[in-house]
Structure 1
């Protein structure tokens, strides 16, 4: 506790203010109150009560593992080549209605020095791997803190831990999927537009910013409800499904049962919650040398959150869903060497599918961040990506 208070008082900028889960210690990333608040913002934290009701295929009950051996056996069969002579391992069965009441941990920051943009609220959704610290990093915030950067440009930011992550409620790990995340996102955005959880700020415009799994979630949400927002920024995203190596990612994520990998931090989660075991698994999927520092990767690994197999299996499902009803500003921003959505090289494969899926966006901007892989927020040129985002919002 003393360490947490010290960190908050001095606005932590070094690795001394987080704990590495590799040593079995607990983490401050699962608390409602962040370790770090941007000094240029006025911030508040909330537990947002939500009720969601949605339909999705149910995870096949006969394949629910109860130990690490069962998980690995299932993964081996699931990722076998299509013609391999192994028993069929269909992960999902018939569609089912899911309902639940949960609490979502969220933060809202608005600029201390308003410039007229403060009523333009960015709602930020993280992806698989990080929690809401993805947007509000205590590690070298002058380089890796999007919220702080956006505040410097006058924008307000609402960001949250997805259901099952950080300080948010922990639902059944075999239930959580992209459909769950979409239901949560729609509910939160509507609350923000109603003026809830934004203090004295009443949003005049709402932009949805998202990363990776969050971007595919946002893409599907606005394809169904284009009135949900006034602009979207999809990072770590592609509409080209052929660039996503599904079996390769299932293997390179090296899924392990999270409550076994790190019982101190993830002991509150059931066996459906997974995590990769080492920083090198993170680097394989999210970083590309030389556009990152080892210390940055170590921090990012220390802040990882759990994911579920259903999230991993459904994250790219909306890629080829048309967003033809969307007729507002859309920015697609992806790293040049993104391993997850482009199998290592994005140039030449994301532009045309984006235009096909967003034929009526006004405007559609497709940008590639040089040298970066999937983790744009923690690449050495992260502030360059932040500038692309805020310049896009300024212009539109």
Structure 2
């Protein structure tokens, strides 16, 4: 197979990930691709900023936003009054079911949502699939997987980066989950159980969504998440905005990202990716190069809203929940999830009614659990959790 990701230069990298039908699918699955039409109607605080038109204006916004309290003009607060948003879009999605079903487990459908940075290939890596492809691993265990490009990413419809936020992503998840539970877009499979699986931004989105609407799924698996917002221990929003080094995507790579507006940003280099997503010596440099070549830009509204759910309790959730994060996760735990009980607090309180709640700090990994050397170990934890709790 020849794929664009093998040569991430001159604007060609990543084009493989902007097509509806990828060139790789696991040989142990029967897979199909399709566009899912969705209608969104939701409310959220409006992004109350002067929209930048060049990198200099973006940089001024970021420096003001991350300045210490009192240094920023109150009129520049990022979000204003609540506003209603509506729109019709298409979501690029794939569905795979195992070629060799096992004990009816193929009727347990995992709906997988990627985070900030990758497209849906996060779950279906064409690069070293025996090591990094979650879909292949899940199919081997007997489960079916539905995975899709988030709105604005991959082959899905575009939306303004000044509109898209965590609330937008939540509205998409609700719409897709409803369709899947009705047996739409799952080929001949009528799901017996629906499992929401997220990575990073998507995990925070799912957490927020099930806190409000716990009936939309039968189990949740949240990877790359940490709900402790204590300064210096857990989530560090200002620090993350700085370490993500946001740059206007259509300026950084007009050939690839020219179809996004100035509200879409990306980090400049593989080293900025490594800062947030990887930790030596638990990854190979060529793996980081691959994930950099496969990156998608993200909406500024997504970056600004993803920490918000850390203050939301999911006490209404009374079904199975797994949280799995790398031991050295820089985004969720400021670099160390194993100390001070920061991963357990406040997750055990927020999910006090989950039956069961499993918190797993995965050794030898940072945020990008799917692409560290022991990724299949994380995949084993996920499928073992399903084996034990979702029937």
Bucket of the pairwise TM-score, normalised by the shorter protein: over 0.9
1:258-297 equivalences under 5 Å are 258-297=249-288
Alignment partner of 1:152 out of 134, 140, 143: 140
- For the pair 1:332 / 2:320, whether they are aligned, the reply is no
What is the DSSP-based 3-state SS (H/G/I as helix, E as strand, rest coil) of the residue aligned with 1:18? Answer: helix
Alignment partner of 1:205 out of 193, 196, 204: 193
Q: Could you say which residue in structure 2 is the equivalent of 1:79?
A: 66
Q: Could you say which residue in structure 2 is the equivalent of 1:164?
A: 152
1:112-131 equivalences under 5 Å are 112-115=99-102, 116-131=104-119
5+ residue gaps in structure 1? Answer: 1-5, 8-15
What is the DSSP-based 3-state SS (H/G/I as helix, E as strand, rest coil) of the residue aligned with 1:331? Answer: strand
- TM-score, normalised to structure 1's length? 0.94
What is the DSSP-based 3-state SS (H/G/I as helix, E as strand, rest coil) of the residue aligned with 2:174? Answer: helix
> Any idea what the Cα deviations from partners look like across 1:208-228, whole Å, max 9, x if unmatched?
110000001100111111111
> Any idea what the Cα deviations from partners look like across 1:321-357, whole Å, max 9, x if unmatched?
1111110000000110100010001112011311100
Q: Could you say which residue in structure 2 is the equivalent of 1:238?
A: 226
Q: Could you say which residue in structure 2 is the equivalent of 1:306?
A: 297
In 2: Cα distance, 1:154 partner to 1:374 partner: 26
Q: Is contact 1:272–1:308 with CA below 8 Å preserved after alignment?
A: yes
1:317-356 equivalences under 5 Å are 317-347=308-338, 348-356=341-349
Alignment partner of 1:136 out of 116, 124, 127: 124
Alignment partner of 1:51 out of 18, 39, 47: 39
In 1: Cα distance, 2:282 partner to 2:383 partner: 22
Post-superposition offset of 1:20 = 4.0
In 1: Cα distance, 2:144 partner to 2:163 partner: 32
Q: Could you say which residue in structure 2 is the equivalent of 1:31?
A: 19
Alignment partner of 2:202 out of 211, 214, 222: 214
In 1: Cα distance, 2:23 partner to 2:371 partner: 18
Q: Is contact 1:21–1:265 with CA below 8 Å preserved after alignment?
A: no
Q: How many matched pairs?
A: 382
Alignment partner of 1:102 out of 83, 86, 89: 89
Post-superposition offset of 1:89 = 2.6
Post-superposition offset of 1:86 = 5.9
What is the DSSP-based 3-state SS (H/G/I as helix, E as strand, rest coil) of the residue aligned with 2:142? Answer: coil
What is the DSSP-based 3-state SS (H/G/I as helix, E as strand, rest coil) of the residue aligned with 1:23? Answer: coil
Q: Is contact 1:19–1:25 with CA below 8 Å preserved after alignment?
A: no
In 2: Cα distance, 1:195 partner to 1:34 partner: 24
- For the pair 1:379 / 2:372, whether they are aligned, the reply is yes
- For the pair 1:366 / 2:359, whether they are aligned, the reply is yes
Post-superposition offset of 1:82 = 1.0
What is the DSSP-based 3-state SS (H/G/I as helix, E as strand, rest coil) of the residue aligned with 2:303? Answer: helix
Q: Is contact 1:21–1:262 with CA below 8 Å preserved after alignment?
A: no
Post-superposition offset of 1:205 = 0.4
- CA-based RMSD: 1.2
Q: Could you say which residue in structure 2 is the equivalent of 1:10?
A: none
Deviates more, 1:26-35 or 1:218-227: 26-35
5+ residue gaps in structure 2? Answer: none
> Any idea what the Cα deviations from partners look like across 1:307-327, whole Å, max 9, x if unmatched?
111101100101121111110
In 2: Cα distance, 1:269 partner to 1:85 partner: 28
In 2: Cα distance, 1:284 partner to 1:228 partner: 35
Q: Could you say which residue in structure 1 is the equivalent of 2:77?
A: 90
- TM-score, normalised to structure 2's length? 0.96
In 1: Cα distance, 2:71 partner to 2:175 partner: 42
Alignment partner of 1:190 out of 178, 194, 197: 178
Q: Could you say which residue in structure 2 is the equivalent of 1:18?
A: 5
Q: Could you say which residue in structure 2 is the equivalent of 1:181?
A: 169
Post-superposition offset of 1:22 = 3.7
